[in-house]
């Protein structure tokens, strides 16, 4: 036998063995689920979060995985509907996910979290901020702070520094858990300050309304400003509609809309819009800059807050998994033990209820970019 | 058959040679051929993939060109400034083409003037921030990267044309256009499919439409980053190893990928490989069993036959040679070998046979000589024995004769005094009786005391007398016996029936010893002999009594009820009668046997025997010109044979 045939023989054996082993390695893989709204006109946040999680686990896998086990990320679209959120979670559980990152919005989380709760699986959201999920010891965790304080601080700012006394509120009923609660806390604080809610209107983003009636009402109420609690796309559209109507009022929006889509679809209408942000793209933290570069290289666009928080969520999860037992039976405790975690923008800890306390910012859209105008420090929640 | 273990046999050698030099190389060559075929197959599939991707590129070029044409033709209408005409044309174009998600006509500020399909929700909206206007020129239709429709959220690309008056025509070309095309190519069976990426890795079309809608980015795929013009790329896709080929759409920089799961591709080759392996193994088993059969019948078994023959010839067996001759080997060399072997064997056989014959003759001669010698020897031995016995008899009779004379003298001398003693004692006894009576009668007044004194004294005298009489009686008997032994008592010979004599001897003995001894009489016919009947009876009695004593001596040691036996038989020849007394008593030692006929020799305790029985018997038999033979074994028993001449 000459050397050539030997080499071929060996390569056949190696090839066969590698096929067998690649099959075997699958059993060592950790399956992690991801769910958010990925399709439709409001999908930008979810897509960004999906990309952030993908980038995080690609980085984790490239640096050896979690305790030498690779992560397989399974992705499900929750279509931005509560009923689909349940389906998505159930499917992920069925496919063997040991933990799920998602959802992007509060409404879907409130709807879907029963599925994970029943299965005893961790649901870790990058961006859900409704205070309705605060202070509950369950399987739900998040890396995004509750807006309870931020919405109040925002209301204070609108009243005191924005000099707005009468404000109209428009919010999306399809993410009721977020939008309605946000509206309530904001209103409460705004009224406490002495302001007046001239109109409060809700709509369903699925109805494809042209907002003319809503804007009519807003206009009639004599509001000096408007708070839009909607997705990026809807906020942009409402802003454009208000501008088209020639209504020259100050516009404010919640952290939900803080994506590039708000600017690209909002056109000139969103210039000067003030929004609450838990994220600042102008951070100079080297970790953050590295993340931005990686993201740009991988996905061809700059990351939005969703991508950053999702990346952090994935990193928090991986860190907790590293400290967990092999079958992740104590993952919940490990997550609770996440203390002084170095995130992309700041350091944070997860409390016993799976919540975080992090700073937030007020930004303004200026020359098609978000610009931080104020850092609002976290104030300890009292009571409740 | 036994072989030396450390040496492989011919089958093993052949098997090894065939397996390693023929079968295995063939199998390996087969496998290599399959692998080469597989690699060539991959090359050809790669080429095919390139062609398919190329066709998709051409198709996309066509569609984009088509879209551009529509936008261009719309632009001409728009330039005319006739808005109502534009409206109609927009509508008909949108409807006719079907792949424009939305068509916008924007003013200089990029605000929507017309939107098709019409929707008041969007009229007037400012689209200036949508990232599609940066590279727009008047000459060319700009093609954007994939985005989602502002209106519907569907995945689209924008075709943007700037008009001479600064307004814009924007078409949202639905990516489902490409989707339809790639779905036509998609082969579910072998998981061979085409997908399209934009220059940033975003999916434009994929058989899994969801991925497109979700704005999946595949820039992490190896095939996306390697731009080399290779025949094919092997990379990991969705945790599976695939190989694929790309083509680039020149106008947009988009990438069309055609890929197939490598396991799916190799499956057919593995199946082929498996088939060949199974077939090869089957062929091997089949052909080896055939070869083994032929090997056995044509080579091994003739060889083994020869080996067996060699062994049996070594053992001197030439008979099974026929078997060897009957096996007809197919192979010429073996035929020759067997022929020459059997010839050699035959020659050997012949030679051995003649040797054997010579040997046998020699041996028979030796045997003859030897037998002659041994018979002479035997005769000599017999003569010697006779001589010895005669000598012994002579010595014995001489001894007896001496003793006889001595005893006769003693007996004669003792006879008379003994008679005096005996007779005088009798007289003295009678005298004493009378003296007693007289003394008592003289006693005054029957003095009791005196009478009693006399009575007691006389009873003592009486006792003494009794002893004297008894003793003298005994002496008399001994003297009589001695006289008998020494032929002092001659009586006439007469023809007597011996059966009666024996019967009476047995009767007398059994009276005393019947409880201890069984007498078995095996005499079935009547014999008569000329003899001194009373003397011969005494001999028989002596022998029987001695036998009884021997039996008692032995049985006493065992138990009180144990019994012995005495066999009686008579044999005869022409001239003599043999009286045989066989007991199973204690037997005699050699020493006892030699002294048995000497007078006063006894083994019994003092007082029980005189030691004269056998010596008297000897004398009697001698007188009859007969013999006594004694055979005995200690602990087993004795046989006494009395031989008397018939006449």
Asked if A266 and B129 come within 8 Å (Cβ–Cβ), the reply is: yes
Residue A327's contacts (CB-CB under 8 Å, 6 or more residues apart) are: none
Higher per-residue pLDDT: B2 or B266: B266
Q: Which residues does residue B194 pair with via DSSP β-bridges, in sequence order? A: B258
pLDDT of residue A31: 93
Would residue B200 be called left, alpha or beta, if left means φ above 0 and alpha means ψ between -120 and 50 degrees?
alpha
Rounded to two decimals, the ipTM of the complex is 0.79
Residue A67's contacts (CB-CB under 8 Å, 6 or more residues apart) are: A321, A322
User: A with B: how many residue pairs have Cβ under 8 Å apart?
Assistant: 110
Torsions phi, psi for B186 (to 5 deg): -55, 125
Q: d(Cα A279, Cα B553) in Å, to the nearest integer?
A: 136
Q: d(Cα B537, Cα B496) in Å, to the nearest integer?
A: 11
| Mean pLDDT (whole number) for B576-590 | 90
Asked if B128 and A26 come within 8 Å (Cβ–Cβ), the reply is: no
pLDDT in tens, A233-259: 899 999 999 998 899 999 999 988 988
Which residues of chain B lie closer than 8 angstroms to A27, CB-CB?
none
Whether B432 contacts B514, CB under 8 Å: no
Residue B514's contacts (CB-CB under 8 Å, 6 or more residues apart) are: none
Averaged pLDDT of chain B: 83
Kindly report which listed range (A169-183, A317-331, B458-472, B596-610) carries the lowest average pLDDT score: B596-610
| Mean pLDDT (whole number) for A320-335 | 89
pLDDT in tens, B364-379: 999 999 999 999 999 9
DSSP β-ladder status, B637-645 and B576-583: antiparallel
pLDDT at A338 over 60: yes
Respond yes or no on whether the N-terminal peptide bond of residue A103 is cis (omega within 30° of 0). Answer: yes
pLDDT at A100 over 60: yes
Q: The tokens 């192979």 sit on which residue?
A: B331
pLDDT at B218 over 60: yes
Question: Which of A306, A314, A355, A370 lies closest to A37 in space, CA to CA?
Answer: A306
B144 and chain A: CB distance < 8 Å anywhere?
no
Residue B631's contacts (CB-CB under 8 Å, 6 or more residues apart) are: B638, B639, B640, B641
B176 and chain A: CB distance < 8 Å anywhere?
no
Respond yes or no on whether the N-terminal peptide bond of residue B145 is cis (omega within 30° of 0). Answer: no
Q: d(Cα B583, Cα B637) in Å, to the nearest integer?
A: 5
Q: How many CB atoms within 10 Å of residue B548?
A: 22
Torsions phi, psi for B27 (to 5 deg): -65, -45
Q: The tokens 């007498």 sit on which residue?
A: B519
Q: How far is CA B236 from CA A223, B45, B206, B218, B259, in A?
A: 57, 18, 17, 12, 11
pLDDT in tens, A119-161: 889 999 999 988 888 888 889 999 998 888 889 889 999 999 9
Asked if B219 and A9 come within 8 Å (Cβ–Cβ), the reply is: no
Q: How far is CA A26 from CA A23, A122, A317, B111, B239, in A?
A: 6, 22, 20, 53, 9
Query: Within the 227-246 window of chain B, which residues sit less than 8 Å (CB to CB) from chain A?
Result: 239, 241
Which residues of chain A lie closer than 8 angstroms to B200, CB-CB?
299-301
B202 and chain A: CB distance < 8 Å anywhere?
yes
pLDDT at B237 over 80: yes
Q: Among all residues of chain A, which has the CA nearest to that of B201?
A: A299
pLDDT of residue A5: 57
Q: Which residues does residue A36 pair with via DSSP β-bridges, in sequence order? A: A77
DSSP β-ladder status, B517-521 and B564-572: parallel
Which residues of chain B lie closer than 8 angstroms to A40, CB-CB?
148, 153
Q: d(Cα A215, Cα A231) in Å, to the nearest integer?
A: 17
**Token couple for A164:** 């707005």
Which residues of chain A lie closer than 8 angstroms to B109, CB-CB?
268
Among A42, A210, A267, select the one facing B120 at the smallest CB separation.
A210
**Token couple for B19:** 């397996």
Chain centroid to CA B287: how far? 34
Task: Return the H-helix or E-strand segment holding B10.
Answer: helix B10-18
Asked if B120 and A243 come within 8 Å (Cβ–Cβ), the reply is: no
Which residues of chain A lie closer than 8 angstroms to B210, CB-CB?
38-39, 77
% residues pLDDT > 90 (chain B):
10
pLDDT at B161 over 70: yes
- Residues B103-109: contacts with CB under 8 Å, at least 24 apart: B103/B74, B103/B169, B103/B170, B103/B171, B103/B172, B104/B168, B104/B169, B104/B170, B104/B171, B104/B172, B105/B78, B105/B167, B105/B168, B105/B169, B105/B170, B106/B167, B106/B168, B106/B169, B106/B170, B107/B167, B108/B165, B108/B166, B108/B167, B109/A268
Task: Give a three-class secondary structure readout of A116-162.
Answer: HHHHCCEEEECCCCCHHHCCCCCCEEECCCCHHHHHHHHHHHHHHCC
Whether A31 contacts A96, CB under 8 Å: yes
Question: Which of A47, A10, A57 lies closest to A313 in space, CA to CA?
Answer: A57
pLDDT of residue B37: 85
Among A19, A265, A368, select the one facing B150 at the smallest CB separation.
A265
How distant is the Cα of B125 from the closest Cα of chain A, in angstroms?
6
- Residues B132-138: contacts with CB under 8 Å, at least 24 apart: B132/B158, B132/B160, B132/B170, B133/B160, B133/B168, B136/B160, B136/B161, B136/B162, B136/B168, B137/B162, B138/B162, B138/B163, B138/B164
Whether B172 contacts B149, CB under 8 Å: yes
Kindly report which listed range (A4-8, A9-13, A296-300, B161-165) carries the lowest average pLDDT score: A4-8
Chain centroid to CA A106: how far? 9
pLDDT at A227 over 90: yes
How distant is the Cα of A87 from the closest Cα of chain B, in angstroms?
16
Which residues of chain B lie closer than 8 angstroms to A17, CB-CB?
none
**Token couple for A289:** 């800059």
| Mean pLDDT (whole number) for B524-542 | 84
């Amino acid at each position: 036998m000459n050397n050539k045939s030997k080499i071929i023989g060996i390569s056949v054996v190696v090839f066969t063995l590698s096929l067998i082993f690649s099959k075997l390695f699958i059993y060592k893989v950790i399956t992690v689920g991801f769910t958010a709204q990925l399709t439709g006109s409001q999908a930008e946040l979810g897509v960004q979060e999906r990309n952030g999680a993908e980038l995080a686990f690609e980085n984790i896998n490239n640096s050896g995985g979690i305790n030498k086990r690779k992560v397989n990320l399974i992705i499900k679209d929750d279509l931005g509907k509560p009923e689909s959120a349940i389906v998505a979670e159930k499917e992920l559980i069925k496919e063997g996910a040991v933990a799920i990152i998602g959802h992007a919005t509060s409404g879907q989380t409130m709807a879907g979290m029963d599925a994970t709760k029943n299965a005893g699986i961790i649901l870790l959201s990058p961006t859900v901020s409704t205070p309705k999920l605060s202070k509950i010891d369950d399987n739900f965790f998040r890396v995004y702070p509750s807006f309870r304080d931020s919405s109040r601080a925002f209301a204070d700012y609108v009243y005191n520094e924005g000099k707005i006394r009468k404000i109209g509120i428009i919010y999306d009923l399809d993410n009721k858990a977020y939008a309605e609660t946000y509206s309530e806390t904001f209103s409460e604080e705004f009224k406490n300050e002495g302001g007046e809610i001239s109109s409060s209107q809700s709509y369903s983003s699925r109805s494809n309304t042209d907002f003319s009636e809503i804007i009519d009402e807003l206009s009639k109420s004599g509001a000096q400003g408007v708070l839009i609690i909607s997705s990026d796309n809807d906020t942009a559209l409402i802003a454009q509609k208000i501008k088209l109507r020639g209504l020259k009022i100050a516009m404010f929006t919640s952290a939900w809309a803080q994506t590039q889509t708000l600017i690209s679809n909002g056109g000139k209408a969103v210039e000067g819009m003030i929004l609450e942000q838990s994220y600042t793209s102008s951070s100079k933290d080297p970790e953050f800059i590295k993340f931005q570069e990686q993201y740009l290289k991988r996905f061809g666009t700059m990351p939005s807050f969703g991508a950053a928080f999702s990346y952090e969520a994935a990193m928090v999860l991986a860190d907790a998994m590293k400290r967990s037992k092999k079958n992740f039976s104590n993952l919940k405790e490990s997550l609770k033990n996440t203390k002084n975690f170095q995130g992309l923008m700041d350091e944070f800890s997860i409390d016993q209820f799976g919540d975080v306390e992090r700073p937030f910012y007020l930004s303004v859209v200026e020359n098609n970019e978000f610009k931080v105008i104020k850092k609002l420090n976290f104030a300890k929640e009292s009571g409740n | 058959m036994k072989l030396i273990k450390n040496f492989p046999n011919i089958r093993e050698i052949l098997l090894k040679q065939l397996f390693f030099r023929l079968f295995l190389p063939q199998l390996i060559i087969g496998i290599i051929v399959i692998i080469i075929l597989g690699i060539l197959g991959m090359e050809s599939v790669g080429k095919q993939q390139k062609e398919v991707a190329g066709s998709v590129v051409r198709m996309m070029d066509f569609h984009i060109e088509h879209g551009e044409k529509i936008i261009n033709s719309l632009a001409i209408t728009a330039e005319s400034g006739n808005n109502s005409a534009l409206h109609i044309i927009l509508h008909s174009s949108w409807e006719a083409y079907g792949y424009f998600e939305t068509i916008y006509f924007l003013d200089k500020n990029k605000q929507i003037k017309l939107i098709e399909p019409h929707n008041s929700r969007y009229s007037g909206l400012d689209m200036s921030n949508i990232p599609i206007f940066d590279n727009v020129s008047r000459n060319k239709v700009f093609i954007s990267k994939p985005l989602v429709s502002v209106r519907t959220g569907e995945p689209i690309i924008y075709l943007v044309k700037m008009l001479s008056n600064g307004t814009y025509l924007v078409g949202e070309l639905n990516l489902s256009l490409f989707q339809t095309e790639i779905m036509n190519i998609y082969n579910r069976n072998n998981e061979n499919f085409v997908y399209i990426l934009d220059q940033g890795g975003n999916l434009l079309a994929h058989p899994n439409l969801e991925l497109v809608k979700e704005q999946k980015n595949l820039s992490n795929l190896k095939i996306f980053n390697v731009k080399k013009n290779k025949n094919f790329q092997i990379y990991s896709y969705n945790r599976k190893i695939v190989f694929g080929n790309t083509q680039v759409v020149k106008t947009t920089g988009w990438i069309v990928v055609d890929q197939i799961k490598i396991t799916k591709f190799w499956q057919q080759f593995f199946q082929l490989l498996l088939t060949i392996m199974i077939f090869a193994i089957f062929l091997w088993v089949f052909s080896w069993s055939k070869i083994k059969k032929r090997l056995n019948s044509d080579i091994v078994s003739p060889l083994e036959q020869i080996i067996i023959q060699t062994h049996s010839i070594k053992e001197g067996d030439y008979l099974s040679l026929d078997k060897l001759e009957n096996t007809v080997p197919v192979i010429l060399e073996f035929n020759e070998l067997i022929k020459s072997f059997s010839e050699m064997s035959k020659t050997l056989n012949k030679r051995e046979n003649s040797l054997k014959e010579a040997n046998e003759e020699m041996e028979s001669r030796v045997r003859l000589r030897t037998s002659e010698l041994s018979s002479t020897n035997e005769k000599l031995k017999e003569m010697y024995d006779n001589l010895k016995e005669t000598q012994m008899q002579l010595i014995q009779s001489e001894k007896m004769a001496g003793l006889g004379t001595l005893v006769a003298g003693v007996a004669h001398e003792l006879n008379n005094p003994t008679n005096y003693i005996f007779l005088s004692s009798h007289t003295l006894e009678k005298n004493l009786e009378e003296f007693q009576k007289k003394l008592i009668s003289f006693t005054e007044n029957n003095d009791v005391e005196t009478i009693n004194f006399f009575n007691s004294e006389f009873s003592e005298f009486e006792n003494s007398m009794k002893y004297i009489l008894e003793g003298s009686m005994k002496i008399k008997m001994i003297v009589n016996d001695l006289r008998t032994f020494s032929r002092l008592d001659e009586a006439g010979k007469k023809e007597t029936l011996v059966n009666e004599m024996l019967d009476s001897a047995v009767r007398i003995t059994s009276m005393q010893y019947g409880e201890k001894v069984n007498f078995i009489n095996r005499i079935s016919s009547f014999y008569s002999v000329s003899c001194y009947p009373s003397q011969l009876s005494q001999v028989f009695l002596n022998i029987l009594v001695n036998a009884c004593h021997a039996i008692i001596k032995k049985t006493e040691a065992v138990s009180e009820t144990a019994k012995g036996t005495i066999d009686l038989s008579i044999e005869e020849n022409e001239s003599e009668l043999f009286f045989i007394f066989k007991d199973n008593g204690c037997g005699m030692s050699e020493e006892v046997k030699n002294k048995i006929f000497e007078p006063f020799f006894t083994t019994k305790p003092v007082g029980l025997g005189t030691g004269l029985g056998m010596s008297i018997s000897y004398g009697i038999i001698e007188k009859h010109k007969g013999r006594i033979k004694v055979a005995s074994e200690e602990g087993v028993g004795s046989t006494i044979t009395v031989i008397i001449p018939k006449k």
